[in-house]
């Protein structure tokens, strides 16, 4: 069997009918990893011994009613897992073999009896858009291993696209779930800020970070969000808002849905094939009874600059704890405490992490705080207000997830500004705190996936799912599979 062939619901039915066992499911996952991960490099740490033991116990259990019973999953390596190595793809945490607790999302998955197959590769400390900033091996795109999978959750998207796990968790600070989902031809959801607990997520930018699922179908995404969403007293930014039954929103009915299409999301920098794929998607929505109009999000042109000032400033503060004292790799070449701080950080952090720490420290420094960080926060409010105004008249905002399909490994690594601009369409969603999903909507001439981004109102993931599911059911983009390791 192949994990490519089934949804969560279909596997549950097979388990219920005793057509398969959890041990067979887990075995399928590890066989696929052994077959293709030497090409993809999606995993940093495998959990094979514990996973196989858990699978055997679940097969013997009488109660099999848990929401994600026995489903094989991968966890991005910046989400802490008790007794399972968590590195954030950084040499600084290379020896962080046994975190003392699980992140809340991991606890929620464990409560529903999912099986953690392993920890997934990423850009170091979630800083990057290509997964080339991993201090281990860069992850490759399963559709063409000469290309990047996107970032920072590149391993999370590639593992699902390659059929190594059924679903994964990623984190999204400026597009880090949606962009790799688009590049890898899978479904990636960034929930509303506060919808999913951040407790146990190694912080990059605390006012922007959000954990979300990467899956092969919209229905699977809804099912996973039902499990991981909800208020958490361990996270002060967690919203005490009721979690709907998202799967009930998957009605295939979008008649009367009002869609806003920002002119800025189809303008300069967006390639013709991406633009054409989005326009074709809008025709699908018209055929389903929805309507769309062009609108403007005038402050979105400031989003990239605003994001990098705010996120780098918060990263500067958050990463101050990594100093070689309490945990992490300590430099052995230091003569005194100050020297030990400097050398541990210099040797432990990669170039991109150092670049953002320096940018953030500068933006927060005396004499520059008002000119940069404070001004960026004001512009962030304007960007949020743009969305609020649009949502007074429209149900969802739709556009491309990324301006281009995936680019080649090494193509942009020496040009950080061009790399940063790749997130121009996803960043505004994080700044505004609204939910957004990427679903496959076409392919480039090179056969690389293209993603459609659907953005909703605060805490209205149900409408986002409804719109995404209707499009998915009316098209076949999500059924295509990369040719990798002999499997399509």
Given the residues 29, 73, 76, 238, select the one marked as catalytic: 76
Kind of pairing between the strands at 396-400 and 291-295: unpaired
Asked if 120 and 75 touch (Cβ cutoff 8 Å), the reply is yes
296 is catalytic: no
Burial annotation 342-361 (CB, 10 A radius, 16+ → b, else e): ebbbebbbbebbeebbebbb
Long-range contacts of the stretch 241-246 (C-beta < 8 A, 24+) = 241/194, 241/195, 241/459, 243/195, 244/461, 244/462, 246/222, 246/461, 246/462, 246/465
Given the residues 73, 176, 312, 344, select the one marked as catalytic: 176
Angle among Cα 481, 486, 488 to the nearest 5 degrees reads 15
Rounded to whole angstroms, the Cα distance separating 285 from 454 reads: 12
Give Cα separations from 231 to 54, 95, 104, 429, 437 (angstroms). Answer: 28, 32, 10, 21, 21
Burial of 329 (0-12, 13-18, 19+ CB in 10 A): middle
Burial of 483 (0-12, 13-18, 19+ CB in 10 A): exposed
Rounded to whole angstroms, the Cα distance separating 71 from 97 reads: 24
Rounded to whole angstroms, the Cα distance separating 422 from 304 reads: 9
DSSP state of 93: G
What is the token pair recorded at 146?
């000469």
Asked if 187 and 216 touch (Cβ cutoff 8 Å), the reply is yes
152 is catalytic: yes
Angle among Cα 170, 240, 259 to the nearest 5 degrees reads 65
Q: Which helix (H) or strand (E) covers residue 279, if one does?
A: helix 272-287
Give the torsion sign (CA, 77, 78, 79, 82). positive
Residue showing tokens 């960026």: 376
Given the residues 130, 135, 152, 238, select the one marked as catalytic: 152
Q: Which helix (H) or strand (E) covers residue 236, if one does?
A: none
Which residues are tagged catalytic? 76, 152, 176
């Amino acid at each position: 069997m192949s994990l490519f062939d089934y949804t969560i619901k279909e596997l549950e039915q097979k388990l219920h009918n005793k057509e398969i066992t959890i041990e067979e499911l887990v075995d399928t996952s590890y066989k696929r990893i052994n077959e293709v991960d030497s090409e993809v490099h999606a995993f940093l740490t495998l959990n094979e011994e514990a996973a196989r033991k858990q699978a055997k116990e679940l097969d013997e259990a009488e109660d099999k009613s848990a929401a994600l019973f026995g489903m094989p999953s991968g966890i991005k390596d910046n989400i802490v897992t008790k007794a399972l190595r968590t590195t954030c793809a950084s040499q600084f945490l290379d020896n962080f073999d046994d975190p003392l607790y699980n992140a809340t999302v991991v606890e929620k998955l464990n409560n529903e009896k999912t099986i953690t197959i392993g920890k997934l590769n990423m850009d170091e400390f979630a800083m990057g858009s290509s997964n080339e900033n991993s201090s281990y091996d860069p992850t490759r795109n399963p559709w063409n291993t000469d290309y990047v999978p996107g970032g920072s959750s590149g391993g999370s998207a590639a593992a699902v696209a390659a059929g190594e796990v059924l679903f994964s968790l990623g984190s999204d600070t400026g597009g880090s779930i949606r962009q790799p989902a688009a590049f890898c031809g899978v479904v990636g959801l960034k929930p509303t800020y506060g919808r999913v607990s951040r407790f146990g997520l190694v912080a990059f930018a605390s006012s922007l970070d959000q954990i979300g699922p990467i899956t092969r179908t919209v229905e699977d995404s809804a099912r996973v969000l039902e499990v991981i969403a909800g208020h958490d007293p361990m996270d002060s930014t967690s919203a005490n808002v009721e979690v709907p039954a998202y799967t009930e929103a998957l009605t295939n009915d979008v008649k009367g849905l009002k869609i806003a299409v920002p002119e800025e999301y189809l303008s300069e920098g967006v390639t013709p094939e991406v633009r054409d794929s989005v326009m074709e998607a809008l025709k699908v929505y018209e055929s389903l009874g929805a309507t769309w109009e062009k609108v403007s999000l005038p402050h979105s042109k400031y989003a990239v600059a605003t994001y990098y000032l705010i996120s780098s400033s918060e990263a500067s503060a958050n990463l101050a704890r990594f100093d070689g004292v309490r945990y992490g790799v300590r430099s052995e070449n230091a003569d005194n405490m100050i020297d030990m701080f400097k050398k541990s950080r210099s040797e432990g952090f990669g170039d991109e992490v150092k670049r953002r720490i320096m940018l953030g420290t500068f933006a927060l420094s005396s004499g520059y705080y008002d000119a940069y960080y404070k001004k960026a926060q004001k512009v962030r409010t304007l960007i949020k207000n743009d969305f609020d105004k649009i949502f007074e008249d429209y149900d969802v905002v739709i556009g491309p997830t990324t301006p281009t399909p995936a680019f080649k490994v090494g193509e942009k690594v020496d040009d950080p500004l061009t790399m940063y601009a790749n997130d121009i369409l996803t960043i505004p969603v994080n700044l505004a705190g609204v939910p957004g999903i990427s679903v496959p909507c076409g392919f480039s001439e090179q056969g690389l996936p293209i993603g459609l981004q659907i953005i909703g109102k605060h805490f209205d993931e149900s409408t986002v799912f409804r719109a995404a599911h209707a499009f998915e059911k009316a098209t076949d983009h999500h059924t295509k599979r990369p040719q990798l390791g002999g499997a399509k």
